[in-house]
Amino acid sequence: MSSKNQSSAAAPTSERVTSLAHEAIDSASEKAADVETKLREEAGRLAEKSNERAREAREKLDETVNTVDSFVREKPFAAAGIAFAAGVLGAMWLKRS
């Protein structure tokens, strides 16, 4: 076979390989775009959930602070006694550690 015939025969093969490579890249690009879209949607859902949980935690913290504040205002001596006892227990625990 002459080199002219070989280059003619190789041309369709190289064109086919090039075409297949382009198709593979296009397919991979589409799949990557789909995955990116799904990841962004999931990240959005997780951010919403996180914000909702943070809001709930702030509300519970506010309720707890209000409850403790009310208790201290209604029973200041009992609150002081509880704080003292907690301090003594904490000091004993730290001393043992």
Read off the pLDDT of residues 71-89 as tens digits, 9 standing for 90 and up: 999 999 999 999 999 999 9
pLDDT at 4: 52
Please tell me what DSSP assigns to residue 3: H
CA distance 60 to 66: 10
pTM of the model: 0.54
Query: How far is the CA of 62 from the CAs of 23, 65, 66, 67, 75, in angstroms?
Result: 58, 5, 6, 9, 20
Q: Is the pLDDT confidence value at 1 over 50?
A: no
